[in-house]
Structures are given as C-alpha cells and as structure tokens.
Amino acid sequence: MDNKSLLLDVKNLKVQFSIAKKNAWFWSAPDQLKAVDGVSFQLRQGETLGVVGESGCGKSTLARAIIGLVPVTEGEVVWLGDDLAKLPKQDWHEKRQDLQMIFQDPLGSLNPRMTIGDIIAEPLKTYHPQLSKDDVKEQVQQMMKKVGLLPNLINRYPHEFSGGQCQRIGIARALILKPKLIICDEPVSALDVSIQAQVVNLLKSLQHELNLSLIFIAHDLAVVKHISDHVMVMYLGNMVEMGHADAIYQNPQHPYTKALLSAIPAPDPKAERNKKIDLLAGHLPSPIDPPAGCVFHTRCSLADDECKVNKPSLIGQPTHTAACFKIKQD
C-alpha cells in the first residue's frame, strides 16, 4: 500500500450552500446548508474508494466539490501536492485533465444534439486542439473498442443507444484524456442489475489496465463491496466510518453502518427469511439545522446524553476508524 503514490489528500473538506429563508428580508442572513461537514481521506494510485450513505447524505456533493463543480467552503483538496480549491483558473484547467467524472444519468449526461463521436472527442478537442481530425477519430474509435462499443457506431446519436451503452459512452469520454482519477457518481444506479454487473466489471478491468484510481459512489452496498478497496460511510455530511472494505463489511463498528449492512438482501431465501433488519427510526434530519453532538443520535438506539452534547471523532486503527462513543476500545 505504501509503495503506491498518494494522489488525492482531502483534508477536513466542508461544503456549505446558502439557502434563502422563506419570507426573509433582503438583509437577513441566509441559512447555511451543511452538505459536507469535515470529510478527510486519502486516495492512492490504483485504489478504489467506495462512498456509501443514504440519499441526501452529501456523497454527490463531496464528489462535485473534489472535481470543482461546487465551491469548497473550507478545507483542502490536495491533488499531487496542489490544493485544487485554491488554484488559479488556468492551472486548474490544466489539472482537470487528470480528474474525470462519470455521471448517474447515462442518457442525461450526453448532449442529445451531438453524435457520440463528437461527445467522446470533446475533452480531446478541448485539451489538444492541435490534433488532426483523423487522429481524433482514431483515438475515439480505439477508446470505443476499449469500453466495448462497436467503433462503427461513431456517427450515431445518444437516443439510439440503451442505458448501458450510454454509460459506456460516458466512460469512454472520461477515459479519453487518460486521467489518473475517475469519480463515479452512482454510475450504475440507473441501470438494470445485469447491466450493472457489466458496467462495474468494465470499470474494474479498465482500472487494472490503466492503473486508475476510482472514487465510487453508490447506495448499493453489494456493488461497493465488489469494487472497493476502502469504504467510507457518510451520514448527514459526516464520515461515520471508514476503513478497508473487508473490515467494514465483516466487522462494522458504527451503529449506522450496522443498520445499513443489515439491510442488504441475502441471495439465499432461507437466510433472507430469518434475517433481522435494524430498521432506523425517524427520518434523516435537515442538514440546514443538524443535531448537536453526534449527528446520528436522533436515530441511534445506543445514544445517551453524551452523544447529544459532544461530537465523536474518528477512532480506531488507521485501517478502520469509526466515529462513535459506544465502540468498545480494545
């Protein structure tokens, strides 16, 4: 692990949005929505970080903050030694080649008025305008082969493709600049299960071939387990547990992680019938006004007065940490 070079070092990342209050005066301060509230992690070359959590927990905002689609409020996103959040525009444009993204909506992420050849070639034309038309076409067709699309479909339009094929087009577009990191924002949640497996396996094999790092966001825990080296569990903008994928899946520490894992359907009907799911009571609290202390205490069965006052920090071994006061220390 240590011989792999460190690519991305996110330190105490916070993203807040200003939300105008209803019926507010012009001068009254807007509400702050804390979408991501102090997330730190490191990512090395060739590794995959899985990010899980329920809807609205800040997974996508985290991804979009790393890649610069939303401004960072506080903290650092260190990419190979440079803090991306503070880079001047021109340098950021250069660095951006190495970070690409795959989107959740396969068809929606493709411009309906462009041929897929143009779509895949667009990053290439932006960063290498000196390339001749034939060179671009050659590279696009090679990339299409690599992601499992027939190269002769280059002049077709996105609406002529299925969801899985569209996602392959999105992957080809992300790969054409030979990036070092690809952020996958729920790349398979809009696809059928059989297609999901194809796309995930494609990503995995491409990762091996090109030595890519992935940040893989999903709410399907089984998919994350399949592809990830490390897993981060998020709740209401906070990291609640982080560690090696095996450690998290075999030995979850945080009560929230336990509840999530207990909800994975088992493929065996007998096991499924006897399984006990820890249903979480209540709803996700509003990130505009998060609970004091541990953000999870409103829904946690173990919570006591300490949890309502103090915010737990991540504790445990470096390979597996969790933010909870109720974990027995070895």
Q: Residue 159 CB, nearest distance to other proteins (Å)? A: 7
Rounded CA separation 174/124 (Å): 10
Which is nearest to 236 in space by CA: 188, 174, 179, 289?
289
Out of 38, 151, 285, 290, the only residue in the binding site for other proteins (CB under 8 A) is 151
Q: Is 20 in the site for other proteins (CB under 8 A)?
A: no
Strand ranges of the sheet holding 48-52, from the earlier edge strand across to the other edge: 99-102, 181-185, 213-217, 48-52, 230-235, 238-244, 320-322, 315-317
Residues 85-144 that bind other proteins (CB under 8 A): 93, 96-97, 99-101, 103-105, 108-116, 122-123, 126-127
Q: Residue 46 CB, nearest distance to other proteins (Å)? A: 21
Residue nearer to other proteins on the CB measure, 126 or 286? 126
Residues 38-77 that bind other proteins (CB under 8 A): 67, 69
3-state secondary structure 187-212: CCCCCCHHHHHHHHHHHHHHHHHHCC
Distances (CA, A) of 301 to 157, 234, 246, 258, 304: 52, 18, 25, 12, 9
Distances (CA, A) of 80 to 86, 180, 257, 284: 14, 11, 31, 35
3-state secondary structure 101-129: EECCCCCCCCCCCCCHHHHHHHHHHHHCC
Distances (CA, A) of 137 to 143, 146, 231, 254: 10, 14, 38, 50
- Residue 66 gets the label, from left (phi > 0), alpha (psi -120 to 50) or beta, of alpha
Residue nearer to other proteins on the CB measure, 155 or 194? 155
Question: Binding string to other proteins for residues 157 to 176, with x set by CB under 8 A, is what?
Answer: x-xx---------x--x---
Q: Residue 93 CB, nearest distance to other proteins (Å)? A: 6
Residue nearer to other proteins on the CB measure, 102 or 307? 102
Residue nearer to other proteins on the CB measure, 148 or 290? 148
55, amino acid identity = S
Out of 24, 150, 193, 315, the only residue in the binding site for other proteins (CB under 8 A) is 150
Residue nearer to other proteins on the CB measure, 24 or 271? 24
Q: Residue 108 CB, nearest distance to other proteins (Å)? A: 4
Applying CB under 8 A, the span of 73-81, 149-157, 258-266, 276-284 interacting with other proteins comes to 149-157
Residues 215-244 that bind other proteins (CB under 8 A): none
Q: Cα(first)–Cα(last) distance of the chain, in Å?
A: 25
Q: Residue 152 CB, nearest distance to other proteins (Å)? A: 5
**Which residues of the chain form contacts with other proteins (CB under 8 A)?**
67, 69, 93, 96-97, 99-101, 103-105, 108-116, 122-123, 126-127, 150-157, 159-160, 170, 173, 177
